[in-house]
Amino acid sequence: MKIGVYANLDKPNVVAALPRLFSLFESNSIESVVSNKLIKLYNPGTASVNAVDPALMPDIADIIVTLGGDGTILSAARLIGDRNVPILGINLGGLGFLTEVSIEELQPALRRLRDNDYLIDKRMVLHADIATEGKILTYYALNDLVLSRGSSLRMLEMSVYIDDEFFNTYESDGLIISTPTGSTAYSLSSGGPIVAPSLHSIILNPICPHAITVRPIVISAESEIKVEIHTSQALMQMTVDGQVQAETAEGSRITMRKARFEIGLISFSEHTFFTRLREKLQWGRLPYK
């Protein structure tokens, strides 16, 4: 088994965890694949470590282990794309809703990986095509696509069509188009519903809409969503998974649908989605208990 290591090397606690990680790999006879940048920061000095360009990692590794938080998983998911390599998230960040284990739990987790004692939770991905200024740009999001007003104080205006039927013209600070995975991220903090990841659906959640009767809506993942932008380029921006700035302009048309591939997140049987809600969001914990 070859494990690829995808790490947020800008965080000191991630770099500090590397010696322990590679020590565990060596003691479990696991061959690893790392980025050229990582090997420059920390070289374990063993023949079982292969340094490659990060883009090639999913072609070589059987599993990608991420070191960081949820943002590191989102970044790794874009790297993997449709190459069907599952991700095991090691939480060295904050909340870590998508990550599966801590660095302290890695030793038993590696044994379970070696024994094939794990599950692969398939997560839906959004595919977005942006037709802007005579070209088409394509983006993929595991969490969400967000149209926002950036630093401007003015509202955005955009028309939304679902399966070519006019749905609504939003006047708001923005619009979050979310997967079920992203329903516990920005969409949740903006008043959106939590959707179990086993449900293939898309959430449309306006940010501070002008009309208070405009509420979030959950639609089928088989639907196609088209957004026409009526706001000048200087007043809006679109971000993918909170990390990538997409190129848009006034008059741009954005078409969104379920991607033809999914991202696999490795989980263990005792860590269910509902367990995460209780543990990470502290559901069911009364203040006097």
Q: Just list the catalytic residues.
A: 70
**What is the gyration radius of the CA atoms in the chain, in angstroms?**
20
Contact 41, 22 (CB under 8 A): no
Q: Could you give the CA distance from residue 85 to residue 89 in angstroms, rounded to a whole number?
A: 13
Q: Could you give the CA distance from residue 71 to residue 5 in angstroms, rounded to a whole number?
A: 15
Neighbouring CB atoms inside 10 A of 288's CB total: 3
* Residue 268 parent element (H or E): none
User: Quick one: DSSP state of residue 124?
Assistant: E
Provide the token pair at 270: 């005792």
Total H helices, total E strands in the chain:
7, 18
Provide the token pair at 107: 């030793």
Of the candidates 114, 144, 115, 105, the one whose C-alpha atom is nearest the C-alpha of residue 128 is 144
* Residue 67 parent element (H or E): strand 63-68
Per the listing, tokens 């401007």 go with: 152
Between the CA atoms of 200, 206, 211 and 215, what dihedral angle is there, to the nearest 10 degrees?
30
| Angle subtended at Cα 265 by Cα 139 and Cα 55, rounded to the nearest 5 degrees | 50
Assign 27 to helix, strand or coil: helix
Q: Could you give the CA distance from residue 76 to residue 171 in angstroms, rounded to a whole number?
A: 34
Provide the token pair at 215: 């509420």
